[in-house]
Amino acid sequence: MAIVYLEKEKLFWIDTKHTSYVLGIVDEEQFVSHVYYGKKIRRQDISYLTRTGEKPYVPSKNNRERSAFLDTLPMEYAGNGLGDYRESSISVRTKDGHEGVAVAFEAYDIKKGKPRLKGLPATFCSEEDMQGSGGEETCMTLTLHCRDNVLGLSIDLLYSAFEEEDVITRSVIVRNTGENAVFLTKVFSASLDLDNQDFEMVTLHGSWGRERQVECREIGYGKQSVGSFRGESSHQEHPFVALKEKHAGEDAGDVYAMHFIYSGNFLAQAERTQHNMIRLTMGIHPQNFCWKLNPAEEFVAPEAVLTYSSAGMGQITRNLHDMYRNHLIRGEYRDKKRPVLINNWEATYFNFNTEKLLEIAKSASELGIEMLVMDDGWFGHRNDDNSSLGDWQVNEEKITGGLKHLVDEVNNLGMKFGIWFEPEMVSPDSKLYRDHPEWALRIPGREPALSRNQYALDFGRGDVREYVYGCMARILRSANIEYVKWDMNRQLSDLGSAFYSPECQGEISHRYVLGLYEVQERLTREFPHLLLENCSGGGARFDPGMLYYSPQIWCSDDTDAIERLKIQEGTAMIYPLSTIGAHVSDCPNHTVGRNTPFETRGIVALSGTFGYELDVTKLSEEERMMIPGQIKKYHRYHDLIRRGDYYRIASYSSNHEYDCYIVVSKDKREALMTFVQVLGMPNCRSRRICLKGLNPEYNYQIEGRDETYGGDALMSCGILIENQPGDFKGQIFYLLAQ
């Protein structure tokens, strides 16, 4: 069994294929202590790691030093205000204004399978298990039932073990079993106390157009964090953090990672304590958060994903890729080839009509493109970004003949049809806002902040969600629409709701996200064949929570191939390539103005969902003729890219000269290596590149070369790639075992 309780030692032992996670019950007061997380070891008594035999001892033996004990014990889930001065995992305010809370073990259960988290996206054992038809054998769940008897709170700590993926997920459910309401001011999803191994902290930062840039920094004493209280996971920071040994790299060294399955405010923090320990915490950001928990009610915290590798950051990548492909992404397109689409946004912006769209579709269909996506500007009286959000009715002055006519004409060309929505927003210049100004988030007496001349709707309100869903569903039922791009082009501010009482205003941000999840769940259930792609001003909501509803997310509005090398490196570090929305766009690039060869643009976009973001009717004949070949490569390599193991060979972000990565099939019989020369090297004949992930016993042939190479030689000796004159040159190398 993956999870057992060693009763004599009072240890809970969680095993995956290569790791062990151990926690224990300490002293008569039943403190829950973290004992060990790391390489898999034999089950034995390792309770000495809690240091409870050292001074100041446990409270039952030395209560005069209770605070010193609480401030040093490696805690599994730390209470607040009672003597542990490190970052707490939970905090509560009572009706009397008190904030102390304790977490004491009471009972446990170990079960096959995994419970759902009410109202939240979460991992599952198998998609069959989601439907109640089996699949429980792929994971197990430990629930520690804990209590604070003074407050009348039940605190359940949930741990699920995914053996094959070397992943442990954690969540928390808090129930009020008392007679009075309490206010939750913090409920983190996971906490992990580790002895410092000269760790560095790896995070992903950015902004619009440069999302998920990898940063590695030393962990000093005190607290270092990344977070968002923008109402979404954000362009600026990402709900991911890793601790790695200072000299750990892609292929060696200890790394611990934590990732948050949530699409709203978050805090991920590493605290280095006075005793040179690290407390790693993750959960909903406590800023602007206060949840009223009435008697008999429960609060469910989102899920955190934990994984450990002794083989460097690369193995963390492959663990998370497998985890999300197998246990988070759902639906028809999880294991299905996505259509090659063309989006009209950068081709036309708001300046289009039926005739122009059909012109693009006709030209695209002749080249093998499989879907036309109509972006912003088809509804209300929207000819720029100053009006009409919320008025989700077709503008038949632009879409002459109506939407069904357009869709039918596109279908007659042999293409699918997709459409853009921004359902969470409202323009001041809209019928919806004139009819329901109270549906927008705003603080009474204050002028609310506009962004892109729009307000955010109060998605925590049921009437708002019902209106939005009704509008979307009517559009989708009216024609054969097979794809939706769901966008969000501003972040939340002015967190005031006309719907909630004064004491519940601190719930707005989380209720907003729960409302978002409810609508997307409803959408995917009514339209199970719909391909949903999430987007937020590019990649501001590229997070695991969104992957539960959409198998792909638009990676960034910056489609420049060279900038995308950096953006897609950070994204692919934790997300499967099949989730990364990547398109070939026009040049000079609309964001950075760079000219990049059309071939290179295609090669970079191949490491993603693949599509086009341009006016195909205005391409040169040379570029047009490259498109069928690019699409052929996509279809040929799609299964390998979608399911294969990803290895980072070289980082343009680090070396500033070239980028290189390889995807290897699970059986190691085929591989696809991508190499992009960003800067040409003067007086350099070739670069030697050592491959990764191959079977050293196999012999491989590289397509286009006559020679056969041993897998061991390819990985240890490498191959030579000729230096090409000029910059921005991309190449792919396909390897097949002989």
Separation CA 365–CA 134 (nearest Å): 42
Sign, Cα dihedral of 511, 514, 518, 520: positive
Kindly compute the dihedral angle of the four CA atoms of residues 619, 620, 624, 625, in this order, to the nearest 10 degrees: -170
Pair of tokens at residue 253:
């060294």
Per the annotation, the verdict on 71 as an active-site residue is no
| CA atoms of 431 and 409, how far apart (whole Å) | 30
According to DSSP, residue 301 is labeled P
Side-chain half-sphere exposure of 411, counting CA atoms within 13 A: 11
| Calpha distance 297→175 (Å, rounded) | 6
> Among the options 429, 487, 543, 615, which is catalytic?
487
Is 632 buried (19+), middle (13-18) or exposed (0-12) by CB count in 10 A?
exposed
434/427 Cα distance (integer angstroms) = 10
Residue 50: DSSP 8-state: G
DSSP of 395-460:
-TTTSTT-HHHHHHHHHHTT-EEEEEE-TTEE-SSSHHHHH-GGGB---TTS-PPPBTTBEEB-TT
Nearby residues of 67 by Cβ (< 8 Å), 6 or more positions away: 83
Contact of 676 with 603, CB cutoff 8 Å = yes
Handedness of CA 69, 71, 73, 78 (dihedral sign): positive
Supply the angle between the helices 598-606 and 561-572 in degrees, to the nearest 10.
10
Query: Would you say how long the chain is, in residues?
Result: 738
DSSP string across 677-735: ESSPPTT--EEEE---S--TTSEEEETT---EEEHHHHHHT-EEEEPPSSS-EEEEEEE
Identify whether 487 is a catalytic site residue: yes
Q: Which one from 129, 166, 322, 557 is the annotated catalytic residue?
A: 557
Cα angle, residue 140 at apex, residues 138 and 141 outer, rounded to 5°: 145
Write phi, then psi, for 138 (nearest 5 degrees). Answer: -85, -10
**Other C-beta atoms lying within 10 Å of the C-beta of residue 609:** 29
Catalytic (active-site) positions: 487, 557
